[in-house]
Amino acid sequence: MKTLSVAIAAVALFGGVQLFQGGGGENAADEAAPSNSYRLVANGDEGNCAVTRGASVSDGLSLLTVAPNCRRLLPGIERAKFWHEKQDGTVAFSANGIDPIVTFAVADGNGYESYAPAMPLLSLAATGDGKPED
């Protein structure tokens, strides 16, 4: 009888926690930010490549996948592994989550424009389909 009471209490506690958390049954992986696909373009379409923002690592820091051919646009950018979005809206790509390889400011519309380094000028725009383009 005591075992039955403990089991009922455990089920009630679990149900209460699920109800409090929304009860959808999602796990932490399901709640992670979905990947966002972008097209990185150099100097008005002189070249382009795919960039994908991945899961959030910490506040403002997400994983980043940069296509190998992005090296043609900015040598060294292929080493970038992190997308760091700052409170002012700027975004930096880095290999270690701290030291920026390239930094972008919010542009008109739905994208970003690089300002450091000053050359080449790069634009970053969402592709909108959730899949990186080649």
For residue 35, is pLDDT > 80? no
pLDDT for the residue 2: 52
Domain shared by 77 and 11, yes or no: no
Q: Is residue 16 part of a domain?
A: yes
For residue 130, is pLDDT > 60? no
Domain shared by 106 and 55, yes or no: yes
Per-residue pLDDT tens over the stretch 64-104:
999 999 999 999 999 999 999 999 999 999 999 999 999 99
Domain shared by 17 and 1, yes or no: yes
Length of the chain: 134
pTM here is 0.69
Per-residue pLDDT tens over the stretch 42-53:
986 678 999 999
Q: Which residues of 91-120 are buried (b: 16+ CB within 10 A; e: fewer)?
A: bbbbbebeebbbbbeeeeeebbebeeeeee
Domain shared by 24 and 40, yes or no: no
Domain carrying residue 45:
32-126
Q: Is residue 132 part of a domain?
A: no
